[in-house]
Amino acid sequence: MGFSVNSNAIVFCLLLSIFVSSSLANLYNDVDITWGDGRARIINNGELLTLSLDKTSGSGFQSKNEFLFGKIDMQLKLVQGNSAGTVTAYYLSSQGPTHDEIDFEFLGNLSGDPYIVHTNVFSQGKGGREQQFYLWFDPTADFHTYSILWNPQRIIFSVDGTPIREYKNPESVGVSYPKNQPMKLYSSLWNADDWATRGGLIKTDWTKAPFTASYRNFNANACIWSSGKSSCDSNNTSNNSWLNQQLDGTSQQRLQWVRKNYMIYNYCTDAKRFPQGFPPECALQ
Position among 124, 145, 231, 266 found at the interface with ligand NAG (CB under 6 A): 231
Q: If binding is defined by CB under 6 A, does position 83 make contact with ligand NAG?
A: no
The region of 60-68, 155-163, 204-212, 233-241 touching ligand NAG under the rule CB under 6 A is 233-241
Q: How far is CA 148 from CA 1, 9, 103, 177, 246, in A?
A: 58, 46, 9, 15, 13
Position among 4, 22, 207, 236 found at the interface with ligand NAG (CB under 6 A): 236
Helix (H, G, I), strand (E, B) or coil at 115: coil
Nearest to 165 by CA among 74, 73, 257: 257
Q: If binding is defined by CB under 6 A, does position 22 make contact with ligand NAG?
A: no
Q: What is the 3-class SS of 2-49, one letter each residue?
A: HHHHHHHHHHHHHHHHHHHHHHCCCHHHHEEEEECCCCEEEEHHHCEE
**105 neighbors 90 (Cβ within 8 angstroms):** yes
Q: If binding is defined by CB under 6 A, does position 33 make contact with ligand NAG?
A: no
Residues 156, 69: Cα–Cα separation, whole Å:
12
Question: Cis omega before residue 210 (within 30°)?
Answer: yes
Position among 27, 87, 107, 135 found at the interface with ligand NAG (CB under 6 A): 107
Q: How many beta carbons lie within 10 A of that of residue 229, not counting itself?
A: 12
Give me the residue whose beta carbon is nearest to ligand NAG.
113
Position among 65, 119, 197, 212 found at the interface with ligand NAG (CB under 6 A): 197
In total, the chain counts a number of residues equal to: 285
Q: If binding is defined by CB under 6 A, does position 4 make contact with ligand NAG?
A: no
Position among 88, 109, 158, 181 found at the interface with ligand NAG (CB under 6 A): 109
Q: If binding is defined by CB under 6 A, does position 47 make contact with ligand NAG?
A: no
Q: If binding is defined by CB under 6 A, does position 235 make contact with ligand NAG?
A: yes
Query: Which residues are identified as catalytic?
Result: 101, 105
The region of 24-32, 56-64, 175-183, 195-203 touching ligand NAG under the rule CB under 6 A is 195-203
Position among 238, 250, 260, 277 found at the interface with ligand NAG (CB under 6 A): 238
C-alpha angle 233-238-240 in degrees, rounded to nearest 5: 80
For residue 170, the minimal CB distance to ligand NAG (Å) is 26
Helix (H, G, I), strand (E, B) or coil at 119: strand
Residues that bind ligand NAG (CB under 6 A): 107, 109, 113-114, 116, 196-198, 223-224, 231-232, 235-236, 238-239
